[in-house]
């Protein structure tokens, strides 16, 4: 209402917000910090608190063959599933966001359905189904399974951004004589970039952490990191698990840095054009 209010109150509000942000990130990082510290433990077992620091568990991690080969395979699967999801998910999201069809909600509901299926059930169903199709325990089976669970993220995030964007820019471009492809490539796609980026990150993270689907398709060439980690820690609970976990986090950060370089991660939170 009064001028003095609008000068004073935002500052207090902002300070409160900043305090909250710090507390929130402390909550978010707390258990991760435990894991990271633990990965540098000198002890041969999961003792807490740790007394001495060492890199021996990172060495152990590098020497344990299944960790490294499954990590490489997990990364391939994550990228493949994200790309496949983008290719079939983005057109669906764009269509749904602007569709006037009375069936739009039904279709959207259907496309998001895999999110709520307990994945262990989907995994076992896919194993029998893909085996019947002749794909069996293969790399393609893993990618298909992961795409089923990645797809909803891309569709939902892209649709949300596109709904919010409004039509004026596309209309303007059309009026100025741009063709459909030109409008799509130069107007629509840049508009939904934040959605694709956020969805792709979700998709890759979900794929990298997926246990219940990968579990049923694990063979000598198709073992993913979470499956190997589970098998390892069922029989041995040493800090090597914390080391590979920390490594996984670092790899994710590096992947994000690459995305940041290529497209600008800030598009998710959009420092304004």
Partner 1 sequence: MSLAESHTRPKRRVGWGLQGLGGTLPAVIFLIAFFVLPLVDNTINSFENDGSAAAIDNYVRLFTDSYYIEVIARTLWVSLLSTLICIVLGYPIAYYLVRHTEGSGAFLIFLLVAPLMTSIIMRTYGWQILLARNGPISNWLLDFGLIDRPLATLRSPVSVYFGVVHILVPYMVISIASVLQSVDRRLEEAALILGASRWRAFWRVTLPLSTAGIVTGSIIVFMLCNGSFLTMLLLGNGSVVTLPLLIYQQFILVNDAGFAATMGNVLLFLALACLYLQLRTVRGRGHV
Partner 2 sequence: MKTRSLLLAMSIVASAGASAHAETISVTAFGGAWEQAFRECYVAPYEAATGNTAEVTVGSPSQWVNQIAANPQDPPIDVLVNLMDTAAVAIKDGLVDPMTVEQVPNLAKVPAAFTEPLQGYGTVINFGAAGLGYMTDRVPNPPADWMAFFDGIIAGDYVATLPGINVGSTTPTALLWNLFDLMGVPLDKTDAVMEKLVAMKDSGNLVFYNDMNQYLTQLQSGEADIGIYWDGRAWTAKDGGIDKLNFYYPQPGGIISPSVIQKVKNGSDEGWNFINVLLSKSSQECFSQKVGYPVVNQDVVYPEPLASRVPSYKDVRWPDFAGISKVMPEWVDQWNRTVGR
Please report, as ranges, the residues that interact with partner 2 according to CB under 8 A. 43-48, 64, 66, 124, 127-128, 131-132, 136-137, 215-216, 218-220, 223, 227-228, 230-238
CB of 64 to partner 1, least distance (A): 15
Q: CA-CA distance, 16 to 24, in Å (whole number)?
A: 12
Q: Which does 59 bind (CB under 5 to 8 A by kind): partner 1, partner 2, none?
A: none
Residues near partner 1 (CB under 8 A), total: 124
The number of CA neighbours under 13 Å toward the Cβ of 108 is 19
Select the residue interacting with partner 1 from 40, 61, 73, 89 (CB under 8 A).
89
Under rule CB under 8 A, residue 65 binds partner 1: no
x/- site string to partner 1, residues 167 to 196, per CB under 8 A?
xx-xx--x-----x--xx--xx--x--xx-
Q: CA-CA distance, 57 to 62, in Å (whole number)?
A: 9
Among 124, 145, 146, 138, residue whose Cα is nearest residue 206: 146
Under rule CB under 8 A, residue 50 binds partner 1: no
Under rule CB under 8 A, residue 34 binds partner 1: yes
Under rule CB under 8 A, residue 6 binds partner 1: yes
Select the residue interacting with partner 1 from 54, 103, 186, 190 (CB under 8 A).
103
CB of 136 to partner 1, least distance (A): 14
DSSP 14-55: HHHHHHHHHHHHHHHHHHHHHHHHHHTB-SSS--SS---B-S
Stretch that binds partner 1, among 54-62, 66-74, 240-248 (CB under 8 A): 240-248
Under rule CB under 8 A, residue 44 binds partner 1: no
Q: Which does 119 bind (CB under 5 to 8 A by kind): partner 1, partner 2, none?
A: partner 1
Q: Which helix (H) or strand (E) holds 218?
A: none
Among 94, 79, 51, residue whose Cα is nearest residue 189: 94
| Residue 244 neighbours by CB distance under 10 Å | 26
Q: CA-CA distance, 69 to 228, in Å (whole number)?
A: 10
179 or 219: whose CB is closer to partner 2? 219
| Residue 247 neighbours by CB distance under 10 Å | 18
């Amino acid at each position: 209402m009064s001028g003095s209010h609008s000068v004073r109150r935002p500052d207090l509000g902002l300070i409160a917000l900043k305090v909250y942000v710090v507390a929130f990130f402390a909550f978010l990082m707390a258990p991760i910090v435990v894991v990271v510290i633990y990965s540098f433990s000198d002890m041969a077992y999961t003792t807490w608190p740790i007394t001495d620091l060492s890199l021996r568990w990172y060495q152990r991690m590098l020497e344990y063959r299944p960790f490294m080969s499954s990590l490489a395979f997990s990364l391939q699967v994550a990228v493949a599933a994200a790309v496949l999801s983008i290719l079939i998910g983005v057109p669906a999201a764009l269509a749904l966001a602007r569709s006037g069809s009375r069936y739009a909600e039904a279709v959207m509901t259907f496309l998001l359905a895999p999110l709520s299926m307990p994945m262990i059930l989907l995994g076992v169903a896919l194993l029998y189904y893909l085996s019947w199709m002749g794909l069996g325990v293969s790399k393609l089976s893993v990618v298909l399974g992961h795409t089923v669970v990645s797809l909803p993220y891309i569709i939902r995030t892209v649709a949300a951004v596109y709904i919010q964007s409004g039509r004026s820019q596309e209309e303007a471009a059309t009026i100025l004589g741009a063709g459909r492809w030109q409008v799509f490539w130069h107007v629509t796609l840049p508009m939904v970039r934040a959605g694709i980026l956020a969805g792709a990150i979700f998709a890759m993270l979900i794929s990298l952490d997926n246990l219940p689907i990968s579990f049923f398709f694990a063979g000598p060439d198709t073992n993913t990191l979470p499956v190997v980690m589970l098998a390892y820690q069922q029989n041995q609970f040493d800090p090597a698990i914390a080391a590979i976990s920390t490594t996984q986090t670092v790899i994710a950060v590096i992947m994000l840095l690459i995305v940041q370089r290529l497209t600008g991660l800030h598009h998710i939170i959009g420092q304004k054009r």
